[in-house]
Chains A and B, each alone.
Chain A
Amino acid sequence: MTREITMKQLLSSFFALLVLASGSIGFNTALAHGGTQPEHGGIVQLVGDMSFELVPAADHVELWVEDDGEEVTSADLAAKLTIVDGSAKSEVALSPAGGNKFEAKGVKIAKGAKVTALLTLKDKQSKIAANFTIK
């Protein structure tokens, strides 16, 4: 009897540990980086801790930025896009547009264009870039 109870206890402890372990793995994964799914209908690229979501619209372009899964204030940062469309290359400065959003109006990015988003961090020196291909 004593032996049976001990086994049950062991088993429940084992499963409890498994649940805890799987929970902590999921927790780590969720916290380590931003999500890979677009939240604004755009294209997401993860670069280290940073998540960039580029939303190319008909008459403007948006860039949404998260750092380690948390929204960062765009007003504290600077961003620009380098767009390579065939042999044409252009640069577009993005303006903070509230929250973690940057925006540039009057910009249309063609399909197939390659876009590099360059984010300058709060220290105004460190930069992180993400590459996109517009589909």
Chain B
Amino acid sequence: MIRSSRTCMFSKNCFPQLFAALAVAACLVATQAAQAHGIWFAQRATQLALLYGIGADDLDSVKRQSMVESIAGYDSDWKPIPTKLRVAGPLLLVDSESQPTVVTAVLFNGIWSKTPEGEWLKKGRDEVPNATTAEKNYKYAVRIVGPLSKPVPPLANQTLQIIPVGAIPDLMGKPLKVRVLFQGKPVGKARVMWDWLNDPDGKPVKTAADGTVTIKVRNQGLNVITAIFDGPSDEPTKADKMEHLATLSFVLPHAPE
């Protein structure tokens, strides 16, 4: 007997398929929850905010404030400017004593293990011995407020960092060469995405051995470029690897009104 898909939805025989589909969907959701989030800086109501999420999912950053390991601001000579985060309603705002040229942050997102069933648990391999993978997650963010008068150097605490090579173009669609550094050195095979906010499912491009890759500037507005790199674990009993996710954000100004 041939069943239509509609009939199948209500058939006992199809429950296993339904559960399988639900399980796959749950895995996908769990996978995103554990791995696919980043931090970046963006303007909110004229102020600079540290955001956490992916794509249009601008999630609760305030509840993650305790996971922020560092926040820093620099002037155009790369001298540190006293900078902190302050809670303002549902936002974490950047509060600097002077106008910074660049702001950075680091967030430790914990250790996550994936069970054979595909579920992500916020536990180490020591607690989930049958995990198919266990990883330690760090998120980094650099915001170029500008104007830059010197090239961006490797910055403190930015274990993974995206650096523009040359000047950032004024117009969207123009090519931008970036170099990805891991522990201050160029790294190949880092996965770079040109627009973390508006194209989060886009295909990443990998950096060459010298750490460089050329992408197009996506937006005449906020740009959030992302790099992801898996490094060795510093706690092998708990995590098989460390996933580092770095963002570089900057704004191309709109035309005068």
Which residues of A line the B interface, CB within 8 A?
Answer: 29, 32-33, 36, 47-50, 82, 84, 89, 91, 116, 118, 125-129, 131
**Contact yes or no, A127 B96, CB < 8 A:** yes
Kindly state whether residue B95 has any CB partner on chain A within 8 Å: yes
Which residues of B line the A interface, CB within 8 A?
Answer: 46-47, 75-77, 86, 88, 93, 95-96, 98-99, 147, 256-257
Q: For the complex, what is the distance from the CA of A125 to the CA of B213, rounded to whole Å?
A: 39
Q: For the complex, what is the distance from the CA of A33 to the CA of B46, rounded to whole Å?
A: 13
**Contact yes or no, B99 A126, CB < 8 A:** no
Looking at B77, B86, B99, the one whose CB has the most chain A CB atoms below 10 A away is B99
**Contact yes or no, A82 B98, CB < 8 A:** yes
Residues of B contacting A33 with CB < 8 Å? 257
**Contact yes or no, A36 B147, CB < 8 A:** no
Q: For the complex, what is the distance from the CA of A47 to the CA of B254, rounded to whole Å?
A: 12
A125 in contact with B46 given A29-B257, A84-B76 (CB within 8 Å): no
* Chain B at the A interface: SS class: loop
**Contact yes or no, B98 A126, CB < 8 A:** no
Q: For the complex, what is the distance from the CA of A42 to the CA of B201, rounded to whole Å?
A: 48
Residues of A contacting B98 with CB < 8 Å? 82, 91, 116, 118
Q: For the complex, what is the distance from the CA of A118 to the CA of B73, rounded to whole Å?
A: 15
**Contact yes or no, B257 A82, CB < 8 A:** no
Residues of B contacting A82 with CB < 8 Å? 98-99
The residue from B46, B88, B99 contacting A48, defined by CB atoms under 8 A apart: B46
Min C-beta distance of A115 to chain B, whole Å? 11
**Contact yes or no, B257 A32, CB < 8 A:** yes
Q: For the complex, what is the distance from the CA of A82 to the CA of B101, rounded to whole Å?
A: 12
Q: For the complex, what is the distance from the CA of A84 to the CA of B79, rounded to whole Å?
A: 14
Q: For the complex, what is the distance from the CA of A41 to the CA of B114, rounded to whole Å?
A: 65
Q: For the complex, what is the distance from the CA of A73 to the CA of B197, rounded to whole Å?
A: 38
Min C-beta distance of A67 to chain B, whole Å? 10
A49 in contact with B256 given A91-B98, A118-B98 (CB within 8 Å): no
Looking at A36, A126, A131, the one whose CB has the most chain B CB atoms below 10 A away is A126
Min C-beta distance of A66 to chain B, whole Å? 14
Residues of B contacting A36 with CB < 8 Å? 256
The residue from B75, B86, B93, B99 contacting A118, defined by CB atoms under 8 A apart: B99
**Contact yes or no, A126 B257, CB < 8 A:** no
Q: For the complex, what is the distance from the CA of A111 to the CA of B240, rounded to whole Å?
A: 58
Residues of B contacting A91 with CB < 8 Å? 98
Residues of B contacting A125 with CB < 8 Å? 86, 88, 93, 95
Q: For the complex, what is the distance from the CA of A107 to the CA of B184, rounded to whole Å?
A: 42
Q: Which residue of A lies closest to B48 (CB)?
A: A127
**Contact yes or no, A127 B257, CB < 8 A:** no
**Contact yes or no, A49 B46, CB < 8 A:** yes
The residue from A29, A89, A127 contacting B47, defined by CB atoms under 8 A apart: A127
Q: For the complex, what is the distance from the CA of A34 to the CA of B171, rounded to whole Å?
A: 25
Min C-beta distance of A43 to chain B, whole Å? 15
Q: For the complex, what is the distance from the CA of A127 to the CA of B48, rounded to whole Å?
A: 9
Min C-beta distance of B251 to chain A, whole Å? 12
**Contact yes or no, A126 B46, CB < 8 A:** yes
Residues of B contacting A49 with CB < 8 Å? 46
